[in-house]
Structure 1
């Protein structure tokens, strides 16, 4: 399942509300996404998962891809915390807001591909390594290294398959 949430606030407003506990948590200080997901799966007696979550804000889109089972449900609040921690770097020192943040860029896509049959299930920690960041002033996406707080040179190639 894909979710696209349209939020009539800016990235900075989202982070401010998240840090105050207004957005992203309820009275019990749990994630409303996690609570809603649990209720949905219980009522329907089927196992579903979120393949992609897009937060469409006034100034930025945040696209979060599934890494493994229920990774978005479990990690959304942690991802939002990381957005807050890296806001200065993601906005290039508050000089330019990205129009899209893609969480996460698979580290393997920055290296040589693994031989067939040797790939493994990505770990949730992959959410906190590399993000694709798109700016109006840049022709191509940039890759942000969360651990080192810097942008690294690399090509982000997204391939689309033809489905007939």
Structure 2
């Protein structure tokens, strides 16, 4: 069961205003495209409640997930070079830090979506954690779990949602509703959609057991 925020992609004025308000965003976009070898689309939206800049990033890569992981493991993709362990920050982390510095740490990354030729990754912010702090570890976890969630390399999910939350059901006298049982980690459950699973709306990949299980899931979105 999917629960995602609707985004008005036709609001040119909102996007234009966002770019005017956020310092260094155009440079950050160019750096993302350099790090990830693709086209970056950034949709800024100012949260008037706390004066934060909430960003949704879409990265379009003209290669497969497998090719991306090969590049990642060789240190050539994503700005996460192997030698970064010897440095204080990787190239990607420096890009994020510079953007935050120019905007008094008011930038919040709500979602980073990476679209490959064969699948799309949707990585959503969870409470008290930043996507950018975990992106390298998440991508490495995808590489480590690749054989398992592709059913022994037999089928690629066409969408992967990271993380997802277990759906629980609460009953009262008049109605029954499903609510998310909150998790605080990117490494418990991921949501998967497969073309072959015509009778199953969604599947869940359990990282701890390295198995695909049945079950509805929720994706945390900003209210």
Task: Please give the range of the TM-score, normalised by the shorter of the 2 chains.
Answer: 0.7 to 0.9
Cα displacement (A) at 1:152: 1.4
Q: 1:27 to 1:154 in 2, by over 3 A?
A: closer
Correspondence list, 1:140-159, <5 A: 140-156=201-217
Cα displacement (A) at 1:121: 8.1
CA contact (8 A) 2:126 2:220 kept: no
2:142 aligned with 1:83: yes
Counterpart of 2:193 in structure 1 is: 134
2:65 aligned with 1:11: yes
CA contact (8 A) 1:11 1:60 kept: yes
Counterpart of 1:116 in structure 2 is: none
Cα displacement (A) at 1:141: 1.3
2:106 aligned with 1:47: yes
Counterpart of 1:62 in structure 2 is: 121
2:77 aligned with 1:23: yes
Cα displacement (A) at 1:120: 10
Which is greater in Rg?
2
CA contact (8 A) 1:14 1:23 kept: yes
Counterpart of 2:36 in structure 1 is: none
Q: 1:33 to 1:70 in 2, by over 3 A?
A: farther
Q: 1:122 to 1:155 in 2, by over 3 A?
A: closer
Q: Which has the higher strand share?
A: 2
In the alignment, structure 1 segments of 5+ residues that lack a partner are 114-118
Counterpart of 1:38 in structure 2 is: 97
Number of paired residues?
152
In the alignment, structure 2 segments of 5+ residues that lack a partner are 1-54, 171-179
Distance in structure 2 (CA, Å) of the matches to 1:134 and 1:13: 20
SS of 1:3 mapped into structure 2: strand
Counterpart of 2:9 in structure 1 is: none
List per-residue Cα deviations over 1:95-128 (Å, max 9, x = no partner).
111111100112xx33346xxxxx99853xx210
TM-score (norm 2): 0.61
CA RMSD of aligned residues (A): 2.7
TM-score (norm 1): 0.81
List per-residue Cα deviations over 1:17-37 (Å, max 9, x = no partner).
111111122586244332111
